[in-house]
Chain A
Amino acid sequence: MKYLRHLILFFGLLCSAYPLAWMCVTAFRLEADAQASPFAFPKRWVIRNISKVFASGGFEDPWLNALLILVALCLAGLAVLVLLHIVQGRFQVSTCLSVIILISAIVFSKCHPSVQEALSGKGFANAYVNSLLVCIGSVALTVALSSLAAFAFALCEFRGRNTLFVIILAGMMLPVHVTLIPLNLLLGPGFLGLKESLWALVGPYVGFALPVSILILRSAFQAVPTELLDAARIDGCSTWQVFANVALPLARPAIATIVIFNFLTMWNEFAFALTLLGPDNSTLPIALNDFKGERGMYIAETCAALAIVVIPLMIVYGIAQKHIIKGLTAGAVKG
């Protein structure tokens, strides 16, 4: 029985790991080889595909584009760290410094002509930076809004609480693609005029992420022992301080869950990005789509691009999943 279970698990691992491994290997093959026999083991390993992926960017030199992505990734990591610190209620010198670095990076990218030019082009590197900006911005906004809303739904008494909650949950039942045309009209030049800018994506992304996030966080806040909240009130916390100092740190596993969940959906989102962004702007799913032509596709190049897209995501997941598993409530009350 035990061996059977292990066998099944191993089979599952094979199913999910094989495509990933194939993708990584194919990224280093010659395009002609890959076209001839896609599943064979490579005869020659080449790095050309990767430089080709980076070539379609704002800079002439593909490695400058790669550097741009790397810098963007580092800044994104920094932004995530800042968010984590804020969630933990620590406002230290290091947090302030990180915020200063982030702001200066944004100002620099807006003001320096060559970087500005590189960022405004349409290519893989730009799509990468765009995706990072949109996803991190949307996730941050989602966490901020949903944690506040969930706290109110879980722990504050007010009239119409349940009705409001049901209305928000009803948002989950709406098929996302139904809203494509209304959103196009709403964001179009007649109304908000945000179309073709990245802001056009942030709104819908956050909007559609909120119901699930609120649902998850609400149950996390409900699990916080009420005695702990009473103790905080006696210790001199206002409602806001109870939220920031006591409830939010305890909801960390739930926050990690919604961060990963929403980040994945936003990172892979295609329909909104295709319709709401103009022809000169794109996010990664759109950029990946460009590797596919009308008559066929560049297998090796696509794989290289995919690998570059997926690997940072896997690193983030690897770090964050520890937080999900670790139960932080242990030791709060009798245990």
Chain B
Amino acid sequence: MAKVTLEHVGKIYPGNVRAVKDFNLEIEDGEFIVLVGPSGCGKSTTLRMVAGLEEISEGTVKIGDRVVNDVLPKDRDIAMVFQNYALYPDKTVYENMAFCLRMRKYTGTGGRPKGIIRNFINWLGNRKQKNEDIDRRVKEAADILGIRDLLRRRPKALSGGQRQRVAVGRCIVRNPAVFLFDEPLSNLDAKMRVQMRTEISRLHNKLRTTMIYVTHDQTEAMTMGDRIVVMKDGIVQQVDSPSEIYDSPNNVFIAGFIGTPPMNFFEMEVREVNQKMVICDEAGAINLTLPPEWTGPLQPYIGKKVTFGLRPEHVGSPSAEAQYNPQTISATVEVIEPMGSETYLYMKVGSAGFVARVDPHRKCAVADKIDLAVMIEKAHLFDIETTNRIV
């Protein structure tokens, strides 16, 4: 168990390619932190720097109170689960899990005795003790993960989920200060992924070890993390709890990245009409009055274009329709996607398209023109140049 601190961490690859830039993060003891971002955003590189598999070009990484920049991976007290499981194919599950313990020097209870023969006897005794110790720990870990009956098999004879469980077991055996996960679920099929997701969360609740989890899947990030770190092009965009990230994203990128279906964006102009802030699009098809408390921050944007972001569940959804005298957007239905519990409507208004998440029983047909209620106070406005959130 340990805190992990990253201070001004950066990674420069040969040829002056910057993979990570000024990464600052303090991970609390026992926290489950998720690094998320599109591929090539530097999240895996960051994890590998914590693991010691990549050299740290700039800044310092601390595990506990120790700076580990120049510490070998094996001495960092970490364990890592890889995307491709990385099980040793020629070893049994048992040997896979025991391998890291076998690689360790086992120091017996006493010191080294004098004399060659006594030393040899001591070595034999230690060997036996070591084997017993390994056996106990492997079996404990196997029981936690429910893979005790697989111990004698080889990785070839396991399914994807079982292999991933063995890979996790290999980490548990070491009892590390920090668990590192590098996209561990992306090779599993959809159903198995959901199952392993909850299993890893359960494991975290049980072990209470610090875990750093890298994924490109925003669902995994939302469901598993205590806190989420969103990255793009090697730069941290936002560090916050899942609900904070979802409800108040810092910029257009995060708003569009987190959530399925993603947030709808419109290019709109801010106007002041009768001392109320109004936004409307070029064609004049959308015309919405903004809440009065947004007037202050929007002052400098009057007469300028902004990006208007609206999540699908805030337009046309049952709770939006239930508002008293709601504002509406009237648009044409292009595609209807019934999901069972809800229906996604792909709408067209002017030149812009958007998605609405509506009640599954709402009657409509393709090419219908319908009015959808908008929860305007849940919407966001972003600066069109800096892409940062205004309100």
Contacts and interface: CB of A to CB of B under 8 A. Distances in A.
Contact of B84 (A237, A328, A330, A334): A334
A107 interface: no
Interface in B43-85: 48, 51-53, 72-74, 78-80, 82-85
A334 B160 contact: yes
The 3 closest A-B pairs by CB, nearest first: A331-B156, A236-B74, A333-B84
Interface stretch (A193-201, A213-221, A224-232): A224-232
A228 B86 contact: yes
A234 interface: yes
12 contacts: A88-B90, A227-B83, A230-B51, A230-B82, A233-B52, A235-B99, A236-B104, A237-B74, A329-B89, A331-B156, A331-B157, A332-B155
A241 B51 CA distance: 19
B86 A227 contact: yes
Nearest to A237: B103
A329 B86 CA distance: 11
A238 to B, nearest CB: 8
Contact of B79 (A233, A234, A250): A234
B187 interface: yes
Contacts, number: 81
B131 to A, nearest CB: 14
A246 interface: yes
Given A227-B82, A246-B88, A329-B89, A236 B187 contact: no
A335 B160 CA distance: 8
A234 to B, nearest CB: 5
B148 to A, nearest CB: 20
B80 to A, nearest CB: 5
Chain A contact-residue range equals 20 to 34
A240 to B, nearest CB: 12
Interface of A: 88, 225, 227-228, 230-237, 241, 245-246, 249-250, 252, 328-335
B197 interface: no
B86 A333 contact: yes
Given A227-B82, A331-B155, A334-B187, A235 B89 contact: no
B85 A249 contact: no
Nearest to B188: A334
B329 interface: no
B55 to A, nearest CB: 11
